[in-house]
C-alpha cells in the first residue's frame, strides 16, 4: 500500500512510523512549520515508547503544573503522583527533527520543504507538489488546523470559538531552574509560560482580543505570576500569532483518506491534549489504511464523541 502523509508534525510522524512498521510504502510531506514550545504531558510516555522516541533528550523535564485560574494564588499539581512520571517542556524545533528522523529511520521517504498544490483522485490519488506529482493509494491529512487535504476535498470545519495565541520567545543570561508550566487567567484570556532549553522561555497569551506588541507587554506586566518568571528575560524574536481555536472537521475520513491530529480536531491549548491526541490518532490511522467505510465512520464517530466531551469540559472551565 502506498500512503502519502501530508504534514510532518507529531500526528504525521506517528502515522508514518506506525505505517512503516505495518509494511506500507510511506512518503511524508513536510513544509517545515513547527509548533511553539508546548508541554508534552506524562500520558504521552507509552505512545512515545511505542514509536521508538524514548529517551526524549534535549528538552526540559516538566515536573508539574502551576495554575492561577480565577484566583490570586497558584495551585500546584505535581506529576510525581502520576503513573507515567514527568512530562516535557518541548523545544519544538528539536522535537520536529527527532520525529522526522525517527520516521526516516523507520523507512519513510521524507520530502521537504514541499508545498501541496492540489489533490485529485482520477483512479488512484495524485498529489501535486512543486515540480512533482505523487501517486498513492491513501492520503493521511496531518497538516494541522489548516487541514490542507480535507479543505481541498471540500470538507467543512466546525469552529466553536475564534481564539488565537500571541506567542513570544524570551532569552536570559540568568539561571532559571523552574521546571513547571505556569498558567494564569487574565481578564480576557489566559497566559502560559514554560522554560525551554538554551536559556529560553515561551510566553503566550491565549485570547480572542486583537493586540499588538505593546498591548501584549502591558497585559503581561499586569499578570501576578507569569511576569515575575520573565523578570530577567528579554524578547529574542518577534511575536507570532497562532490559531488556538476549538474546531473539528464535519467528516474526518472517507474513501482513501483520513485526517488526524489537529487536522481532524483541534483543542484549546488549556486542555493540554493536542499532542497526545495527535500521537494517538496517528497510530490509530495507520491501522485504518484499507479499512471499510464502516470502520472509517466509526473512527469519525469516536473522535466526535470525544470532542463533544471536551467541549463540555471547556464550557465548564470558562463559563461555570
Ligand atoms: C499556543 C499553543 C500552545 C499549545 N500548547 C500545547 C500543550 O502545552 N500541550 C499539548 O498537548 N498541546 C498543545 N498545543 C496543541 C499542539 O501544538 C497541537 O495539538 C499539535 O501540534 C498537533 O499536532 P499535529 O501533528 O496534528 O499538527 P501540527 O503540529 O500543526 O503539524 C502539522 C504540520 O503540517 C505542516 N503542513 C501544513 N500544511 C501543509 C501542507 N500543505 N503540506 C505539507 N505540510 C503541511 C505544518 O507546517 C506542520 O509542520 C498548543 C497549541 C498552541 C497553538
Q: How far apart are CA 112 and CA 260, in angstroms?
A: 20
Region 73-100: mean pLDDT is: 94
Ligand 1 centroid to Cα of residue 11, in Å, is 8
**Residue 124: what pLDDT?**
87
Nearest CA to ligand 1 atom 53: 244
- What is the number of the ligand 1 atom nearest to the C-alpha of 33? 47
Beta strands in 197-252 (DSSP E): 200-207, 233-235, 240-243, 247-249
**Residue 275: what pLDDT?**
98
Region 146-151: mean pLDDT is: 96
Region 67-95: mean pLDDT is: 93
Residue whose C-alpha is closest to residue 166's, from 232, 200, 217? 217
- Helix H or strand E encompassing 257: strand 257-259
**Residue 210: what pLDDT?**
85
Nearest CA to ligand 1 atom 50: 269
**Residue 85: what pLDDT?**
93
**Residue 48: what pLDDT?**
98
**Residue 115: what pLDDT?**
87
**Residue 121: what pLDDT?**
85
**Residue 34: what pLDDT?**
80
Ligand 1 centroid to Cα of residue 71, in Å, is 30
Q: How far is CA 300 from CA 133, 140, 179, 260, 264, in A?
A: 29, 14, 37, 10, 9
Residue whose C-alpha is closest to residue 159's, from 235, 243, 282? 243
Ligand 1 in contact with 204 (CB < 6 A)?
Answer: yes
Burial category of 293 from C-beta neighbours within 10 Å (exposed 0-12, middle 13-18, buried 19 and up): exposed
Region 202-220: mean pLDDT is: 92
Burial category of 291 from C-beta neighbours within 10 Å (exposed 0-12, middle 13-18, buried 19 and up): middle
Angle at 238 between CA 277 and CA 144, to 5 degrees: 20
Nearest CA to ligand 1 atom 10: 272
Whether residue 183 contacts residue 234, with contact meaning beta carbons closer than 8 Å, is answered with no
**Residue 213: what pLDDT?**
84
Region 276-289: mean pLDDT is: 97
Answer yes or no: is pLDDT of 252 > 90: yes
pLDDT grade for 211, boundaries at 50, 70 and 90: confident
**Residue 123: what pLDDT?**
78
Q: Model pTM?
A: 0.97
Whether residue 289 contacts residue 242, with contact meaning beta carbons closer than 8 Å, is answered with no
Q: At what angle do helices 293-319 and 274-286 cross, to 10 degrees?
A: 170
With a CB cutoff of 8 Å and minimum separation 6, the contacts of 144 are 7, 9, 33, 261, 262, 263, 266
With a CB cutoff of 8 Å and minimum separation 6, the contacts of 214 are none
Residue 65 main-chain phi, psi, to 5 deg: -115, 145
**Residue 97: what pLDDT?**
96
pLDDT grade for 212, boundaries at 50, 70 and 90: confident
All structural domains of the chain: 2-36+92-160+248-319 (3.50.50.60), 39-89+162-244 (3.30.9.100)
pLDDT grade for 70, boundaries at 50, 70 and 90: confident
pLDDT grade for 120, boundaries at 50, 70 and 90: very high
pLDDT grade for 311, boundaries at 50, 70 and 90: very high
**pLDDT tens track for 150-202:** 999 999 999 999 999 999 999 999 999 999 999 999 988 999 999 999 999 99
Answer yes or no: is pLDDT of 32 > 90: no
**pLDDT tens track for 225-246:** 999 999 999 988 899 999 999 9
Buried b (16+ CB within 10 A) or exposed e, 143-177: bbbbbbbbbbbebebeebeebbbbbbbbebeeebe
Answer yes or no: is pLDDT of 80 > 90: no
Ligand 1 in contact with 262 (CB < 6 A)?
Answer: yes
**Omega before 122 within 30 of 0, i.e. cis:** no
**Residue 319: what pLDDT?**
85
Ligand 1 in contact with 272 (CB < 6 A)?
Answer: yes
Answer yes or no: is pLDDT of 278 > 90: yes
**Residue 81: what pLDDT?**
83
Ligand 1 in contact with 165 (CB < 6 A)?
Answer: yes
Amino acid at each position: 500500500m502506498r500512503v502519502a502523509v501530508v504534514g510532518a508534525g507529531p500526528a504525521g510522524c506517528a502515522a508514518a512510523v506506525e505505517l512503516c512498521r505495518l509494511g506500507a510504502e510511506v512518503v511524508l510531506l513536510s513544509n517545515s512549520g513547527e509548533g511553539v514550545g508546548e508541554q508534552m504531558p506524562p500520558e504521552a510516555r507509552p505512545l512515545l515508547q511505542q514509536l521508538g522516541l524514548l529517551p526524549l533528550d534535549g528538552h526540559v523535564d516538566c515536573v508539574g503544573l502551576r495554575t492561577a485560574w480565577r484566583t490570586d494564588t497558584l495551585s500546584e499539581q505535581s506529576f510525581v503522583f502520576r503513573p507515567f512520571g514527568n512530562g516535557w517542556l518541548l523545544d519544538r524545533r528539536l522535537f520536529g527533527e527527532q520525529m522526522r528522523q525517527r520516521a526516516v529511520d523507520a523507512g519513510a521517504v521524507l520530502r521537504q520543504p514541499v508545498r501541496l498544490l492540489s489533490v485529485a483522485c482520477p483512479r488512484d490519488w495524485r498529489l501535486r507538489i512543486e515540480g512533482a506529482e505523487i501517486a498513492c493509494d491513501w492520503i493521511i491529512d496531518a497538516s494541522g488546523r489548516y487541514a490542507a487535504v480535507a479543505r481541498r476535498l471540500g470538507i467543512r470545519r466546525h469552529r466553536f470559538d475564534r481564539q488565537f495565541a500571541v506567542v513570544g520567545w524570551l532569552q536570559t543570561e540568568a539561571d532559571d531552574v523552574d521546571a513547571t508550566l505556569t498558567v494564569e487567567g487574565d481578564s480576557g484570556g489566559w497566559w502560559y509560560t514554560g522554560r525551554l532549553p538554551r536559556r529560553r522561555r515561551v510566553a503566550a497569551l491565549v485570547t480572542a482580543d486583537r493586540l499588538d506588541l505593546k498591548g501584549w507587554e502591558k497585559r503581561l506586566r499586569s499578570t501576578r505570576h507569569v511576569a515575575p518568571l520573565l523578570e530577567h528575560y528579554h524578547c529574542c524574536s518577534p511575536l507570532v500569532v497562532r490559531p488556538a481555536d476549538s474546531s473539528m472537521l464535519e467528516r474526518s475520513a472517507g474513501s482513501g483518506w483520513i485526517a488526524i491530529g489537529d487536522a481532524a480536531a483541534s483543542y484549546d491549548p488549556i486542555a493540554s491534549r493536542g499532542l497526545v491526541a495527535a500521537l494517538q490518532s496517528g497510530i490509530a490511522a495507520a491501522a485504518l489504511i484499507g479499512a471499510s467505510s464502516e470502520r472509517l465512520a466509526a473512527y469519525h464517530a469516536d473522535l466526535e464523541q470525544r470532542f463533544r466531551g471536551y467541549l463540555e469540559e471547556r464550557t465548564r472551565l470558562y463559563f461555570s
